Amino acid sequence: MDERFDQFFNFLWAIIGIFTAMMVSVFGFAYWDRKLSLRPMKAEQRKIYWVFCTIMPNNNPASAKS
């Protein structure tokens, strides 16, 4: 009887380990994908900001006085 419980608990630990590894890999992939896909958008945003500041220097938010 004890051997059967040991087998069952070992099986549960294996299932928990597999589930944990899957969740870590899914969240890691999601984080990596978001970081990779946002990089071009940030570069485009910098270009737009530079053009805005070049064309309209008086409306530059960085030079605004509080």
What is the C-alpha R_g of the chain?
26
Q: pLDDT per position in the chain (66 positions), as tens? A: 788 989 999 999 999 999 999 999 999 999 999 888 888 888 888 888 888 778 776 665 665 554
pLDDT at position 61: 60
Extract the tokens encoding 11: 């099986």
* Helices within the chain (DSSP H only): 2-55
Name residue, tokens 């960085």: 62
Tell me the domain boundaries of the chain: 2-61
